[in-house]
Amino acid sequence: MRNLRRYLRTQTNLMLFSGLIGGLSSAMAVGLLATSAWLISMASMRPPILVLEVAIVAVRFFGLSRGALRYVSRLIEHKAALTTISNLRIGIYLSLERKVSKYFSLISRGGLLRRLVSDTETAQDLWLRLANPWIGAIVSGVCGIGIVDFLLPKLALILGGILAMAIFFVPVLALRWESTQQEIEESVFDSVVQACDSIQESLIFGYQENVREEIDEAQSALRRIDIRSGLSTGFAVFVHTISVGASVVIAAAFATKAFQSGEIAGVNVAVLILLPLVIFDGLTGLPAAFSRAGNIFASAKSIDGLLVVDSQELTSAYECFPDSDNYQIIFDKTVPILVNTNLEPFSGIADLGSILVLRGKSGSGKSSIVHALLGFLEYEGSITINGIEASHISSEERIARFSVLLQQDHLFATSIRENMKIANPLASDDEIMDAFKIVELFDLVTEVGLDTHIGAYGHNFSGGERQRIKLARALLHPSQILILDEPFEFLDYAQVTRIASRINELTANKTLIVVSHLEFALN
């Protein structure tokens, strides 16, 4: 897990510090119980108040310190955890951005979704659920055993042995029967994603029950795994409880015998009997945590495979892409590489004032040519932009130089304004409305307002309106290269003619590539 460790290592000091603070908080609990037990026992003998004053102050100190340290520990560990998750997700997205489509054909959508959502959150549990509680349990346990050793050394040896066994044996016991459920979870994710994608078709053709049955089967498998994991956790908790009970009984026997022989004062009997309860308190969450250790490590391994080994290696091959008022794009016998698909070589030139229009039957590779230019696909042959090979241009440069409308472009569940500002965050409302004039949406947007919520996948608008919003967004981007893949989908002939004419005027000083099955779309 070398790649993942690079991200976890940045927060190691904070995590260790939070574990130490958490252990000190548990140690304060040990001190609180020991002092309280001594204070209650001593108070029953009605001594002068000055005799109890130190113990009273100590109880206050331990009680306040415990809460304060716990709060600080949680603040630190959550800051470290959230920072780690943010860095991981950024790293994963940067890594995925540089992977070609061939990679995504080898991984299911459910598997990718699981890694981005579930595995990323689970990986942080390496620290939060495993390392930190274990460190805290050791710190508090050592403090408790230290007090017992001060009062009755021979009892400390026995309790120390039981504590050592519990700290190491209980987690191993929980690990013994843990089950990894990643494959089943991936199946559930896949089933849900496919069900969402095909909800309309399943209702029309009546196979929605089959979809539900597949999801139910995967969920039943998950429940069986959870039951097995619960049994192992329960057994580990049982062993932990037996350890605590046995420690209390042993402590009571030793304390009583020591009091009868005069080795300890009577006020310390309660201290020795109650201390095992708080010494073992830090171990309470370990069985449940370690019963999921297999899933945690599997998630960490899964994420590790997505992360880039060395970002420096990725940027070293990129060439400088100078500013220009004229970008010439040359396709020379270009063949996008797709799994189980053979496409014909394509040659063509997109230049200033000369629109390159890609036409052909469905499946001929028109969109794949565009995807190769954008870096989504590997390709054979050559694609050059002002003499620079497209594969040598960084994603950052593509974002800055290209304005793109793809068939699968997404409208986000937010306002019209926010969707448009994805293309140009600095765009004013007037500039946004100018873009809507080009695609004949000015009157509609004026009526409903830029703050109107588009809805999930743009469901508040018709298919043609959604397409024109996406087209207006592409036109709003301040770039010299404009790439439009089926920009006139869902539009009628007359409307296409008018919008195409305006785009021709707008892009007179830009390099334009259009994928369209309409021969009259752009000339």
> What local confidence, expressed as pLDDT, does residue 421 receive?
94
| Residues 334-350 pLDDT 10s | 998 876 677 889 999 99
Pairing state between β 329-336 and 379-385: antiparallel
Report the pLDDT value the prediction gives residue 433, as an integer from 0 to 100: 95
Residue 512: its pLDDT value, please? 92
Alpha helices in 177-316 (DSSP H): 182-197, 199-205, 208-260, 267-279, 286-290, 293-304, 311-315
Q: What pLDDT is attached to residue 450?
A: 94
Q: How far is CA 18 from CA 136, 452, 456, in A?
A: 9, 45, 40
Residue ranges in the chain modelled with pLDDT below 70 = 1-3, 97-111, 113-114, 170, 173-205, 207, 211, 218, 229, 232, 287-289, 291-295, 308-319, 339-340, 518-523
pLDDT of residue 106: 55
Structural domains in the chain? 2-309 (1.20.1560.10), 329-515 (3.40.50.300)
pLDDT of amino acid 293: 67
Which pLDDT does position 482 carry in this prediction?
A: 93
pLDDT at 315 (0 to 100) = 43
- Contact yes or no for 381/331 (Cβ under 8 A): yes
Q: What is the pLDDT of residue 518?
A: 66
